[in-house]
Amino acid sequence: MDHPIKIALVSGFDYAFPGGINDHIRNLAIQFDEWGHSVYILAPCSTQDNIHEPNFIPMGKPVPIPGSGSIARVSLSVLLRPRIKKLLEEKKFDIIHVHNPFAGFLTANVLSLSNAVNIATFHGFGSPGLGYQIIYKLGASKIAKRYFKKLDGLIAVSEPAREFISNYFPGDYKVIPNGIRLESYTDNVKPFAHLKNGMINLLFVGRLEKRKGLKYLLAAYRRIKCDFPNIRLIIVGPGKPDQDSQRIINEGNLKDIILVGPVSDEDKIRYYKTADIFCSPATGHESFGIVLLEAMAARKPIIATSIEGYSSVITNGIDGILVPPKNDYALADAIKSLLNTPKLLDTISNNGHKKVEQFQWNKIARSIMDMYISCLNSKVNTRNE
């Protein structure tokens, strides 16, 4: 197909709140726009203050719902249906690409009303997420399966994500991972000078939710602080430390911990550039781990937990070190091992930087566009038969 196509990328999650799915959609839109396609983003949105995409269409206000060790900010409004119907009739999208199609009501309503070619990407892994809990608790699985049959193309972001969703909706899934924009991580990006003062910088990036495992990193930090008094922990991401994390900080009278809070994408990259070691101690429910790609792109050594989503990205001892989840002893030993073995630190950094090249967004987007074109051609051929 050699002409531009009109694409709707649909997220069920609050587009104003940082997260891997919305980052995925944002970067996919940027790449498709660079190729000359017409791209619209549909998502619930709590505030548009920091949203700059010209073709973003807010679809209702999200509500926070606890689930899977996290907070899902999704739309549960049934009043959006007439608006969705009118929008789809006006825009006449060629492709509607929904992400986690049963997370809240927006994606399901878009699917049910769509006459376009429908693609879905499934990002989840672990215990059933909010959407699937709603479907089965309300006895609506038959309705969900009817919507599922409207999907022309199925994508999972990792093999663990494919295996997980297949338990609920068996199908022919193609694994297409998350991506990274390497051009954003050039040597021109400077670290924060005030943090490059002879201290060793450990970095954590992520929402401060229980499943991200911050308390285990804090416990590990407490174990090594005496041996490495010049070590510092930088915590980047929205939220506040939970009670366990705060207790570890207070009881250990831990010093040199910087709670940064949420930051812009530009500053996030600068924090990666500032780090000496990146740690991601998540306890589960990670289908992939975009933070791993970000650290690799910044050429930083990674210590992460051996959960399935992370193990699908990292080869232990080659481009990262994997430790058992919820084990601050192993996490502390891994940090000490890297600090005591500079050659290993450099090897892991360099290997990670080589691996991340396969995840560049232009390559990931090309695989997704190939699916779009294949499904479009298949639908045309079916209509002509």
pLDDT in tens, 4-30: 999 999 998 899 887 888 899 999 999
Which residue, among 28, 45, 14, has the nearest Cα to 207 in the 3D structure? 14
Q: What letters, b where the CB count within 10 A reaches 16 and e where it falls short, cover 277-296? A: bbbbbbbbbbbbbbbbbbbb
Q: Which two tokens stand for residue 65?
A: 């719902």
pLDDT class for 319, splitting at 50, 70, 90?
very high
Radius of gyration of the chain (CA): 21
Please report the sign of the dihedral spanned by the C-alpha atoms of residue 147, residue 148, residue 153, residue 154: positive
Q: Taking 70 as the threshold, does the pLDDT of residue 68 lie above it?
A: no
Residues ≥6 apart with Cβ < 8 Å to 334: 303, 321, 323
Q: What number is the average pLDDT over the span 110-122?
A: 95
How many CB atoms sit inside 10 A of residue 52's CB? Answer: 7
Query: Which domains are present in the chain?
Result: 6-179+360-384 (3.40.50.2000), 182-359 (3.40.50.2000)
Which residue, among 251, 181, 244, has the nearest Cα to 222 in the 3D structure? 251
What is the longest distance spanned by two Cα atoms in the chain? 74
Q: Taking 90 as the threshold, does the pLDDT of residue 300 lie above it?
A: yes
pLDDT in tens, 241-295: 999 999 999 999 999 999 999 999 999 999 999 999 999 999 988 888 899 999 9
- Cα–Cα distance list, 161 to 11, 82, 325 (Å): 17, 32, 19
DSSP state of 194: G
pLDDT in tens, 211-234: 999 999 999 999 999 999 999 999
Q: Taking 50 as the threshold, does the pLDDT of residue 149 lie above it?
A: yes
Predicted confidence at residue 286, as pLDDT, reads: 87
3-state secondary structure of 129: coil
Q: Taking 90 as the threshold, does the pLDDT of residue 382 lie above it?
A: no
Q: What angle do CA 257, 261, 263 make, to 5 degrees?
A: 125
Which residue, among 262, 203, 261, 212, has the nearest Cα to 232 in the 3D structure? 203
Residues ≥6 apart with Cβ < 8 Å to 20: 123, 178, 288, 290
Q: Taking 70 as the threshold, does the pLDDT of residue 381 lie above it?
A: no
Predicted confidence at residue 318, as pLDDT, reads: 97
pLDDT in tens, 71-80: 777 877 778 9
SS3 percent helix, strand, coil of the chain, rounded to 5, is 45, 20, 35
